[in-house]
Amino acid sequence: MSNKHHSEVIEMLAAIYKPQIYIELGLYKGETWYKAIPHCGQAFGVDIVDRNINGEIFVGTTDDFFEQYQKKADMIFIDADHRIESVLKDFENSLNILRPGGCIILHDTDPESNHLFGSGWCGDSYKIVDILEERSDLNCITIPCTEAGLSIVTRKKDTRTYRRNSVPQ
């Protein structure tokens, strides 16, 4: 287990990506939110509970958010409903609005022990890693930060010139 908290890793990624638009699905206490937003042009948070967190917060389901949201995003952090069905839907909705070169970050994808499989923890959201790793259009790397892990996903066609063009001879 890494002693880096996932919010620190996301803060570091936000500092590197400097996203014009950052979206966070599932805010909990806002720890990750407050660390990421100083590095972002604009940020949108989504949670089913009004948590009195400062910023542009949509209170409702992620489905409702995606139905009304019209912009593209550069960086999206998924940490809402931890059921695999919901995580898959949130992932596909996020991928549909992801700008070229952007990334999607998923929390709770590498639980270090069985007690984390409960609904109050990772649930079965970790199953998405196997699904994503089978896709030939995506890069997916999972890192063991804190006890639950993070996975970072990008589109292969967006990451390097040699993937978009023919390899120079």
Q: What is the pLDDT of residues 16-31, one digit of tens each?
A: 999 999 999 999 999 9
Q: How many domains does the chain contain in total?
A: 1
Residue 38 has pLDDT above 90, yes or no: yes
From residue 143, give the alpha-carbon distance in Å to each of 110, 140, 153: 7, 10, 12
Asked if residue 1 is part of any domain, the answer here is no
Looking at per-residue confidence, does 96 or 124 come out higher?
A: 96
C-alpha dihedral sign at 89, 164, 10, 122? positive
- Can you tell me the mean pLDDT for 153-164? 74
Asked if residue 125 is part of any domain, the answer here is yes
* Global pTM value: 0.90
The SS3 call for residue 27 is coil
Asked if residue 36 is part of any domain, the answer here is yes
Asked if residue 98 is part of any domain, the answer here is yes
Joined tokens for residue 11:
């803060």
The SS3 call for residue 141 is strand
**Span 49-86, pLDDT tens digits:** 998 999 999 999 999 999 999 999 999 999 998 899 99
Domain CATH number, residue 138: 3.40.50.150
Asked if residue 121 is part of any domain, the answer here is yes
Asked if residue 139 is part of any domain, the answer here is yes
Asked if residue 71 is part of any domain, the answer here is yes
Joined tokens for residue 92:
């596909």
Asked if residue 169 is part of any domain, the answer here is no
Residue 82's domain comprises: 6-164
